[in-house]
Amino acid sequence: MKKFTKNGTFAMDATDAEMSRRTFIMASALAGTALSTGLLTSSPAHAALDLKGREMVLASWGGSYQDAQKVSYCDPFAAATGVTVIQDGPMNGGKLRTMVESGQPIWDVVDVTDIFLYANAKNDLFEKIDMSIVDTSRVEPAFVHENGVGCIVWSYNVGYNTDAFPGDNHPKTWADIFDVERFPGKRMLRDRVYPTLEQALLADGVAMKDLYPLDVERAFKKLDTIKDDVVWWKSNSQSQQLLTDGAVGCGMILNGRAYDLVKKGGKVNISWDQNIQSIDFFSIPKGAKNADVAQHFMNYMTLAENQATMANIIAYSPVNPAAFSGIEDKVKPWLSTNPDNAAKGMVISGAYWRDHLDELTERWNQWKLT
């Protein structure tokens, strides 16, 4: 449940997945002040570092997203510290668990969704964030967890190919995605139980404010109606390819991935109706051999300049509100925390999925096989 302090800011514990849209928008208005107070410089602890010759492995999600992280975070950190940042991926939850259980993780920083973080922090999968190194004061509080620091805010959106659906005759809501008569052809959804159950319930007429706790039986019944018409994608790069090459006409895509396609001339667009907002975190696997370097990397990632660079490349919202004054005007309409876009959407409940991810993932896998 959302709880607000007397001064109107958002109070949360380390396991609460709800984010405060109000605090984030208010804080972004203070961006100019924050920039003028030196938030673009590294912390004293970082400035005194001697990390030359060290290395660190980042496991992320590949494609244009990881390319943007390399430019925005990894390359500047390497130039500033002398650390060699090695790219790996895609991040895989099962592989990460196996690494940690073996006591020899080869990844030092992993990019994980809020749902994965909240569900697995209780399993001692991650190191704690060293707040004496990572300056979390410049990060909106809802994006800080004891085992991770938010790196982007993003959304699941209804996307469509503009050749397949020209003009205003295109899918706008999840009900449209599930309407194969009005919008014929193959559509794509993510091969994962969340947020697919949420999308199915929204398509079936459940209001955003009434989604949780999820009516699981109703969601799977709705999914049955289009099961034969869905192409299930496993990676964000795959979703981009499916939509641009015409293999599907519409479906679910992340807002930043759609923006990346549009920048490159792709004939795609998205709707902001019923967008589902979420957060990605950087976390350190338990037992990572370069955990100390990883802590400093995450501190560097939160700097406003780096956050703004990331947003300008791939249109994912920053977690440091000071970054907003460095974001280009053409990008701002594509950000999920843009007030107009945020007002049309909702935030996925990490608290719900923390408690139900394992059981519903098993149910999801069984449903896919039937």
Q: Choose between 160 and 142: higher pLDDT.
A: 160
Q: Residue 144 belongs to what H/E stretch?
A: strand 144-145
Residue pair 195/222 in contact (Cβ under 8 Å)? The answer is no
Specify the pLDDT at position 18: 36
Number of H helices, E strands in the chain: 16, 12
Q: Look at residue 50 in the predicted model and tell me its pLDDT.
A: 82
* Of 57 and 37, more confident: 57
Distant-in-sequence, close-in-space partners of 294: CB < 8 Å, separation ≥ 6 = 56, 108, 109, 127, 284, 288
Least confident stretch, 27-41, 230-244, 332-346:
27-41
Rounded to the nearest integer, the mean pLDDT of the chain is 88
Given pLDDT bands bounded at 50, 70 and 90, which one contains residue 40? very low
Q: Which of 86, 81, 76, 80 is nearest to 56 (CA)?
A: 86
Arithmetic mean of pLDDT, 270-292: 97
pLDDT in tens, 99-149: 999 999 999 999 999 999 998 998 899 999 999 999 999 998 989 999 999
Q: pLDDT tens across 171-219, in order?
A: 999 999 999 999 999 999 999 999 999 999 999 999 999 999 999 999 9
Q: Where in the chain is CATH 3.40.190.10?
A: 19-153+279-343, 155-278+349-369
Superfamily of domain covering 19-153+279-343: Periplasmic binding protein-like II (3.40.190.10)
Mean pLDDT calculated for residue range 62-79:
96
Measured CA distances, 287 to 14, 15, 111, 126 (Å): 21, 22, 16, 8
Instruction: Kindly state the tokens that stand for 3.
Output: 């709880």
Residue 63: count of CB within 10 angstroms of its CB: 20
Local confidence band at 30 (pLDDT 50, 70, 90 cut-offs): very low
CATH of domain 155-278+349-369: 3.40.190.10
In the predicted structure, residue 91 carries a pLDDT above the cut 90: yes
Q: How confident is the model at residue 49 (pLDDT cuts 50, 70, 90)?
A: low
Per-residue confidence at 9, pLDDT binned at 50, 70, 90? very low
% of the chain at pLDDT higher than 70 = 87
Cα 55–Cα 56–Cα 60 angle in degrees, nearest 5: 150
- Name beta bridge partners: 231: 188
Q: How confident is the model over 16-25, as pLDDT tens digits? A: 333 333 333 3
What is the predicted pLDDT for the residue at 142? 86
Whether the per-residue pLDDT at 38 is higher than 80: the answer is no
Q: What global pTM score does this model have?
A: 0.78
